[in-house]
Amino acid sequence: MIALYILAGILGLLLVLLAGSLVRTLFVRPKKSAYEPSPDPERASELARKLSAMIRQETVSEQGMHPVEKFRAFHRVLEELFPLVHRNLEKTEIEGNLLYFWKGKSTDRPLVLMSHQDVVPAEGEWIHAPFSGEIADGKVWGRGASDTKCSLMAFFQAVEELLQAGYVPENDVYLSSSCTEEWSGDGCPRLVEEMKKRGVRPWLVCDEGGGIIREPIAGIPGNFAMIGVFEKGKADIRLTARSEGGHASAPKPHSPIARLAAFVHEVETKPVFRRKMPKEVAAMFETLAPYASFPLRWVFSNLWLFRPVLLKVLPAISAQAGAMIRTTVAFTMQSGADACNVMPQEATVSANLRFIPHQGMDESLRIIRSLAEKHQLEMEVLQASDYTKPTDIHGEAFRLVEKTVAETFPGCAGSPYVMTGATDARFYQEICENIVRFAPVIYGPEQMKGMHGLNENIEISCLPGAVDFYKNLIRANGLPSV
């Protein structure tokens, strides 16, 4: 009888909480993210032609290869497209990596605008040749169109237009562009070292990473400015299983591949890493809540109640959202014997890990190493770096970026965002407290799919807005506090 009373009390409390959350949701005024670009067609076409010329100069970069002359050819394209930038800014080139300095009225709040020159290889059958820079169907096509020659073009053009108008920035401006970003090379670290030699500590760094994402979560339609405020750490590891080998006709138990398979199965099917919602992710859901359909609005507006449920279901609903709440591991490469009838003396599996702040590099690697030892595997860490320090989402720098988004893209909601990939921006962490990862172009499903894939493209209509964002950010930096 007492148990029934307790159960009834629990059910009653649950009903009260659910009723309270529903009432709270009814007071959340539904909103619509109404921003759609409507640029001057002539201006948009001119920017598309500039981006096309940049794409036509192929700048593929791969680990172990450093074709400096290829990038210097690309630099000559930049000189032709942006003559005022090259006439008025101080240019420094370090093995193909670029740093431009635009002297402002003050050195108090240096601003760094970043985007890389290099692109990944283009394989497979493309609708338009990957280095043609074809302009068709309202898009610019080719490798680098969206990742990230679009933003590189946009901030060069922003400075070009401001120079043409005779503008002098309130604070120093730097344009930073490495040619090794796609393989995490030493290009950006060299540029940071140059900044350190000059004694420069940027107040704000703006790199790629986030963007104006079309329907960032299913059920939330519209364009949203997703502003990355930190990025996860990462590591590449190799796990090796050894044996004496032998003929496959008389296999011994616990072979190398069987042990590797058991390890992979355990990691894939059991909750290896702890799930926790960073405050930046909670802020993202709360920001997006008014724009969501009712069921999602109910959940996102009441994280105090639904957070445990979200932590359970997010990885199943969305791989991207799931990656924002836990360390992830992805198995990517494997090797074994050279023939089907040979038991391997050695078999390997390689994996890529991405670390979340609440369970960083050291702890995550310890967990994987412990599991590897359980399955009699050796673990080698090929490379590793921890997560970056988050930018304060309530601080002046983040609010400046939010204000610039609102000014440039009327009706477009801005939201903090966790970068699950890696960018060059992490190298600036050593000398800068405020780093955002935001490319001011529209990424719909087609553009997201094309990054590092087939038929990469960017919509022409979003290019003028990208230029205006950088112009507005340069002008706003140094004005009265936002």
Q: What are 320-372's pLDDT values in tens digits?
A: 888 999 999 999 999 988 889 888 899 999 999 999 999 999 999 999 999 99
* Residue indicated by tokens 């990208």: 466
Q: What are 377-414's pLDDT values in tens digits?
A: 999 999 999 999 999 999 999 999 999 999 999 999 99
pLDDT at 458: 98
In which band, very low, low, confident or very high, does the pLDDT at 26 lie, cut at 50, 70 and 90? low
In which band, very low, low, confident or very high, does the pLDDT at 16 lie, cut at 50, 70 and 90? low
Instruction: Describe the chain by its helix, strand, coil percentages, rounded to 5.
Output: 40, 25, 35
- Percent of the chain at pLDDT > 70 equals 94
User: Which SS3 state, helix, strand or coil, does residue 335 take?
Assistant: strand
Full set of structural domains in the chain with CATH = 41-230+388-476 (3.40.630.10), 233-274+327-385 (3.30.70.360), 279-325 (no CATH)
* Number of CB atoms found within 10 A of residue 161's CB: 16
How far apart CA 356 and CA 325 sit, in angstroms, is 7
pLDDT at 159: 98
Q: What are 452-477's pLDDT values in tens digits?
A: 899 999 999 999 999 999 999 999 99
Q: What are 49-84's pLDDT values in tens digits?
A: 999 999 999 999 988 787 899 999 999 999 999 999
* Residue indicated by tokens 């994280």: 303
pLDDT at 481: 59
The distance in angstroms from the start CA to the end CA of the chain is: 61
pLDDT at 217: 83
DSSP H or E run through 190: helix 187-197
pLDDT at 9 over 60: no
Give the chain's mean pLDDT.
91
Which pair of structure tokens corresponds to residue 72? 């210097």
* Number of CB atoms found within 10 A of residue 418's CB: 26
Taking the model in full, what pTM does it have? 0.91
pLDDT at 12: 54
How far apart CA 99 and CA 429 sit, in angstroms, is 17
Which pair of structure tokens corresponds to residue 471? 């112009």
Contacts of residue 46, Cβ cutoff 8 Å, sequence gap at least 6: none
| Contact (CB, 8 A) for 439 and 208 | yes
pLDDT at 175 over 70: yes
Q: Would you give the DSSP letter of residue 392?
A: -
How far apart CA 477 and CA 329 sit, in angstroms, is 39
